[in-house]
Chains A and B, each alone.
Chain A
Amino acid sequence: MTIAELSPRVGSGEVSPVEIVTGCLERITARRDLNAFVSVQADRALEDARAATAEIAAGRYRGPLHGIPVSIKDLIDVAGVPTTAGSAVPPLHPEADAPVVRRLREAGAILIGKTNLHEFAFGTTSDETAFGAVHHPLDYARSAGGSSGGAAVALVEGMCLASIGTDTGGSIRIPSAACGIVGLKPTFGELPVVGIVPLSTTCDHVGPMTLSVEDARILFDALRASAVKKPAEAGPFTFGVPTGYLLERLDPEIREALTTVRSQLSRAGHAVTDVAIPNAQSTPDIYLHIVLPEASHYHAATLESDPSGYSPGIRLRLEMGRYLLAEDYVRAMQLRARLAAAVDAALRQCDALLLPSLPVVAPILGATTVDLDGNPEPVRAATLRLTQMFNLTGHPAIAVPAGRNRASLPIGMQLVGERNRTDRLLAIAAGVERQITVGFGSVGGGAG
């Protein structure tokens, strides 16, 4: 059940936060094998649920998140709870909540626990982690995506009603697509990343993962501490499908799904057109030369003093970043600005870009390559291919479920909007959500 569906029943007193939290805690216990959580704050959550129940009964209902359990990626500070970042490196011990956490509490949300992730958010499969690989809820042998893999699993399995993730190259959208949920990466800088362990300070974003676009809007309202102005326009919209690099290598079933979605949108009265993004193929090189040194900068002291806590692969990637030349970092930053201008130009031809969130379905845990149109491609490169561009350019992007493949694994589509117009992107996504999921449906049972 979505937050939008459940919250009126909470507000009316028909359903109590204690019931909801108890149900979530039971599901967490029942599926510990999925490794969705690093830590569960059960006692505090129940205490907060009892307080919320009393507050609502006394007529002090705060709004749609009041009494709703939310999970927090364990990269984000929660006062009094260690921030592990999924690593065996000694954790941080924050005394204060990150601003996004504080805003959720102010909206009445109940923090149920901290979710597992790819170590330091430096990967897309959530299997390099000190807390056990995160398993896909539909296929135990597969990855749930990453780096916010535990956040996606927690939501799909009904362990919470929303999750907060972070996204530096696709870490909200990739697990959302892999698990069949909605994941929003807002415009760069729109939500504060203070109190969040950085991966790349110029690419890091924080955002919600939810069961519907409407729920994403509810969370986004709370996270930015102001209501989203709902644009009056309801379409029809023009969608631009990028030509060239972004879509040249797709799993055949993902390509088929994109064709189906194009038809569904056209039949619903929207326009769908091809758009070019010049030099899009340079995205991975630009990304690498920015994210590597920025990540290495944060970790440099620990790499020198005690690197033993890092997983071997993470340590090597962080060390690699220390060798990059400053001139190539500046070169990448300048090329990044040109790429952002190219995306801006593409968005002048349409209301939103439309493309898959992932070129493949959830990869097998431990696989080093995936097959794309008959060619093996490294898992990390393949899974970042369709999302990382918008971390570089800062455009808001949202992953929405778009059915399943023949093996019943979820497929996600991605919509990308104008910078600083996340509110409009949410309105567009809400307008098409049902049109591109007809006949498919989401994965999980949800809570409540």
Chain B
Amino acid sequence: MEKNKIETGLSSDAKKEPRRVVFVTKKASAKVVGEPGPQLMTYPHLLIREAIAFQVLVIAMVLVALLWDAPLEQLANPLLTPNPAKAPWYFLGLQELLHFFPPFVAGILIPTLVVIALVVIPYFNVNVEGEAIWSRPAQNLRIVLVTVFLLLAFLAVFHAWTIFLPTALVAALLLFSYTARAGENGLLQALARKPVSWWVMTWFIAVALCLTVVGTFFRGPGWSWVWPWRTHVG
């Protein structure tokens, strides 16, 4: 058996065996974007603000919890469906969507596509500089008009008015910003400088909001259309 050539043993010479405390590699170090600016100690400056935020939040919630009771309907009865049978508010948008499209599309396909779209956002580094949507007016206007027209036509065919309305509103805002893009600085000019990703997300939020609001307030028994002021009369 060969003699082991590696020496082992304890060494008391600190210089000969320096201890590595931190090893910073290129990819692991933090990449700071922008000016760091003046800094403050976390303790106490951040922690006190978090503590205040927590207390404000808790006090507000305690007050509401003391005054308004959570609902509790009758015991679950598998033989009787209440009318209307509504999901919690964050799913009412989905339930409204179910009214227009088959369960697979509204319940599986669209939510999956939305999640995939969300996850992919940071990797879709197409427009890193945040180039404005109207930076190339002629080409972009044509693309925008065609996309909007196709989308609205598709929604109209499926009678999906709850999605049609916010889409039309956002599209109108977008086109107004086009006409006003060269004017003096105001809201429309600021909007004209926003990139495509901003407009797509804004459209998504507008549609989700509209679906949720309609599902919450404007749908009654049998998912029929009701005017909210009429349902609370009497």
Do A and B pair up? The answer is no
| A residues adjacent to B (C-beta < 8 A) | none
